[in-house]
Amino acid sequence: MNKVSRFAVTTAFVLASASSAYAGCGISSGSVRIAGSDFPAIQAVSGAAAACDGGGVSVTVDLNTDHKDRQVAALTANPAEFTSSIVANSTLVALMNDGLARPLDSLVAKHGGDLAKSQLITVDGKIMAVAFMANAQHLFYRKDVLDAAGVGVPSTYEEVLAAAEAIKSKGLMDYPIAGTYKAGWNLGEEFVNMYLGHGGSFFKAGSAEPAINNAKGVATLNMMKALTGYMNPDFLTHDSNAVQAEWEAGNAALTNLWGSRAGAVTDGEGSTAEIESNTMFASAPTVAGGSMPASTLWWDGFTVATNISDEDAEATFQAMMQGVSLDMAKANADKANWLIAGATPQAAGVGVVATAQGGATPYPMLPYMGTMHGAIGGELADFLQGKESAEQALADIEAAYIAAAKEKGFL
Amino acid sequence: MPHRTFIAFLWPSALAMLLFIALPIMSVAMQSFFISHEQVLEVVENCGPFGCTESTQVNQEATARLQEEEPLGRFNGFGTYTNRNHLAFEEIGEVWRTSDGPGAFFSGLMNLPFYKALVFTLTYTFVVTPLVIILGFVIALSVNRLPGLFKGPTIFFSLLPMIVTPLIGSLILFWMIDAKGVIGGTLQIIFDDPDLSLKASPGLTWVTLMVYGVWHSAPFAFVVFYAGLQTVPQDTLESAMIDGATRWQRIRHVVIPHLTPLVVFITLIQLMDNFRVFEPIVGFNAEASATSLSWIIYNDLRSSDGTMLYGSAAATSMLTIVGVCILLAPVIVRTWRANRRAA
């Protein structure tokens, strides 16, 4: 090899390494391991962050539908299995209960230039997570079916029942309402939504003592039972996937489903054009004369693990900043309601926006809320199957919660 | 055998059993006597996309200090065993005092999660085990009579339900029994009831789970009995035929006595397996209508939002072990007596 060609080869190497430094998003070195739940919005965020892979930085992504069940164990390890866990309101609490997410104040000050103030999740004055999307359960309705039944878009659950009765009595559908009533977490979430819509509170003020066995709790259960009267009799086995399938098959005309499914039921796949073009979104209904939509607001955001080196933490934060950039939000406008500054709201996101504007409250971020949620999801099925009274079901929930909360040291 | 040789042969398996069976069980037993520390709570301000609120959180440093002092948690004795989510002594006393008849007492009992699960687990065990043995025996007898050409393929297809992973098998059946699935739809036509759903009522869910259990386990009994049938003494059978015994009499008085040790073996294995029924409940999304002891353990360990109940799971595990021991005791005692008589 002569001198000229050796020079050329060297230059090529230098250029190549320079361009890979560019691919690293300005991160000099470190290991970034992102983990989260597996749905399109999080795929987009982690995908954009993974583009930083190269040079001295390695970025790996591991998404799993059961992420919330593995994250505590994975981040408890030292060094942690993942450097960033993508969380929501309730799952951040689980990390914070064990001190597994590190405060991000210094990293936000150094690298968080583009973040809107509303994206910063601060607890006790410390930034614990950076939110990038909002989610809420809200009303999905079939315009053609409601028109044929001669009813307007319901804005309260009483109107939902009336509309369902009209659809059923005209013989348009056997089971006009669909709901995520699968025993367990889903059923618990439906109760939380409806109970907050009734203006109820779960605990005695300032303590972990349960306080749901009251008139609002009974009214909540009676409304849920009335709704199930218009649902497919298998409702206790229906989760979000099943409800989406029912919807796309044209078996239901009204449902209070997750905003993150709005894009999926109007994406031109898995359903007919007639059903998709008539699928409309509105705020979650109010209930019992209340003014607040019976739904909870959720955000999804990223955290940085405690049990990793400061170098990896910085690299992780920088990569995730790339993941939640405005470019990513623009390229994936239809996948979520991005909270990212400058992003335009998605067309299918009107339901989430309307629910938030209607004054729905965020899902309670209390250390013992997860225990309560579990107790609700486990004890409600008996009531909905008609095996016990509403008062008995509420008493059972409180008793199951107290036993679990004592074991967890909250009581 | 000299003691030295005996010990030399025994020690590797004794060591493995100690390491992989005895120690983990002791660790679980230990865990079941402890509960989490009292959480140190503080009120702080939370801010996010939807505004600021006052909220309660766990104080990290104080909790970490507590954990360092006592890594196992607080000692609770048998507290976890007797609380409402397990044996519920107090609640049972309450139900006993307030109920006015056996019906009311039983429905009060079924309202407690542990007993609800126990009733399903026992029903499942005592319905599925005999059915598996009878069905497996009948299949073995039928296959044994087939001409040689058909035997191989028939055995292969009969074994399929056992080869399918339980979770996958139940998940596939879950969709087939859906009101719009092939089995669910056919049943609606047969019973002429367009609202019939196997997933909706607890009774039908129980039936579905048990039918699945028999379908899944019958091949195991079949294959054991089939192997046993090959060893039935032909001389005895022939002399029975000469004496004019019918086919039923030959089965009743020659084949069944010959296979009795196998019945004991299958009963033991099936009692243990069925008492731990778990996968079909997850696969059929049946937790609203049917829960088992194993499902309770699973539920405690995967509670959403990271609120795992390790003590609860450990206590239920210990109770399951006790349950298995009680179930197997009669069979094992019988076998031991029979062996002693033989010796």
Same domain, A58 and A184: no
The tens digit of pLDDT for each residue in B276-325 reads: 999 999 999 999 999 999 999 999 888 656 677 889 999 999 999 999 99
Contacts of A237 in chain B (CB under 8 A): 199, 284-286, 288
For chain B, domain boundaries: 80-111, 112-342
The tens digit of pLDDT for each residue in B250-274 reads: 999 999 999 999 999 999 999 999 9
Strand extents, DSSP E, A283-368: 296-302, 337-338, 361-362
Backbone angles phi, psi at B277, to 5 degrees: -50, 130
Using pLDDT thresholds of 50, 70 and 90, give the confidence band for residue B135. very high
Same domain, A237 and A321: no
Interface contacts (A, B; CB < 8 Å): 182
Same domain, A238 and A385: yes
The tens digit of pLDDT for each residue in A33-53 reads: 999 988 888 999 999 999 998
Q: What is the CATH number of domain B112-342?
A: 1.10.3720.10
Same domain, A375 and A275: yes
Contacts of A134 (CB under 8 A, 6+ apart): A259, A297, A298, A299, A336, A337, A339, A352, A356, B49
A241 domain-assigned: yes
Same domain, A141 and A197: yes
Mutate to test the interface with A, among B72, B304, B309 (most CBs of A within 10 A): B304
A77 domain-assigned: yes
Among B286, B313, B78, B71, residue whose Cα is nearest residue B199: B286
- The domain tally of chain A equals 2
pLDDT at A19: 40
A109 domain-assigned: no
| Contact between A195 and A216 (Cβ < 8 Å) | yes
If you average pLDDT over every residue of chain B, what do you get?
90
Same domain, A393 and A315: no
DSSP per-residue codes, B50-81:
TEEEEEEEE-HHHHHHHHHH-TT-EE-TTHHH
**Distance of alpha carbon B335 from alpha carbon B343, whole angstroms:** 12
Percent of chain B with pLDDT over 70: 99
Interface pTM, i.e. ipTM: 0.87
Give A409's DSSP letter: T
- Nearest CA of chain B to the CA of A371: how many Å? 6
Same domain, A280 and A180: yes
Among A94, A339, A399, the residue with its CB nearest the CB of B306 is A94
Q: Which of A306-310, B71-75, B219-223 has the lowest mean pLDDT?
A: B71-75
Q: How far is CA B209 from CA A22, B114, B170, B280, in A?
A: 58, 19, 9, 7
A8 domain-assigned: no
pLDDT at A6: 52
Partner residues linked to A101 by β-bridges: A305
Please report where in the chains the tokens 């898995």 appear, as a residue. Answer: A270
Same domain, A243 and A360: yes
Same domain, A369 and A327: no
Q: Which pair of tokens denotes residue A173?
A: 């559908």
CATH number of the domain that residue A270 is part of: 3.40.190.10
Among A365, A384, A392, the residue with its CB nearest the CB of B46 is A365
Q: How many CB atoms lie within 10 A of CB A342?
A: 11
**Distance of alpha carbon B295 from alpha carbon B307, whole angstroms:** 16
Mutate to test the interface with B, among A408, A410, A411 (most CBs of B within 10 A): A408
DSSP per-residue codes, B127-180:
HHHHHHHHHHHHHHHHHHHS-HHHHHHHHHHHHHHHHS-HHHHHHHHHHHTSTT
Same domain, A49 and A96: yes
pLDDT at B292: 95
Contacts of A151 (CB under 8 A, 6+ apart): A159, A162, A163, A166, A167
Mean pLDDT of all residues in B44-64: 83
pLDDT surpassing 60 at residue A396: yes
Read off the pTM. Answer: 0.87
- Nearest CA of chain A to the CA of B91: how many Å? 10
CATH number of the domain that residue A327 is part of: 3.40.190
Percent of chain B with pLDDT over 90: 62
Contacts of B51 (CB under 8 A, 6+ apart): none
Using pLDDT thresholds of 50, 70 and 90, give the confidence band for residue A15. very low
A12 domain-assigned: no
Same domain, A88 and A217: no
Domain of A36? 25-102+303-344
Q: Which chain A residue has its CA at the smallest distance from B283's CA?
A: A237
Q: Which of A211-215, A370-374, B333-337 has the lowest mean pLDDT?
A: B333-337
Tell if the CB–CB gap between A366 and B83 is shorter than 8 Å.
no
Length of chain A: 411
Same domain, A190 and A335: no
Percent of chain A with pLDDT over 70: 94
**Distance of alpha carbon A343 from alpha carbon A325, whole angstroms:** 10
A358 domain-assigned: yes
Q: How many CA atoms lie within 13 A of A129 on its CB side?
A: 30
pLDDT surpassing 50 at residue A17: no
